């Protein structure tokens, strides 16, 4: 059974089902939570941004991996 949670548009994966939207919202919520957590422990703007960018890359990689394996392949 092929899971169709995302649709690929260029280099982006767009959610096309409720589960896809839930994964996207969960990723955004975790990114916001991570930013607030990192900001509360850092001493400067550069500490916050360096650690947040690294966390954002990890979140994006996990989202892309899930979307890649559950996406609908384009015809043609």
Instruction: Report angle CA 65, 57, 75 to the nearest 5 degrees.
Output: 35
Q: List, for residues 53-69, the tens digit of each pLDDT value.
A: 999 999 999 999 999 99
Helices 18-41 and 45-69 pack at an angle, to 10 degrees, of 160
> pTM of this prediction?
0.86
The three state secondary structure string of 29-50 is HHHHHHHHHHHHHCCCHHHHHH
1: pLDDT strictly greater than 60 = no
CB 24 within 8 A of CB 63: yes
Instruction: Give the three-state DSSP class for 70.
Output: coil
């Amino acid at each position: 059974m092929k899971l169709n949670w995302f649709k690929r548009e260029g280099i982006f994966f767009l959610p096309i089902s409720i589960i896809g939207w839930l994964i996207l919202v969960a990723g955004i919520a975790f990114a916001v939570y991570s930013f607030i957590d990192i900001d509360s422990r850092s001493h400067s703007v550069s500490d916050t941004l360096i650690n947040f960018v690294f966390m954002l890359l990890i979140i994006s990689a996990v989202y892309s991996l899930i979307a890649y394996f559950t996406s609908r392949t384009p015809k043609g």
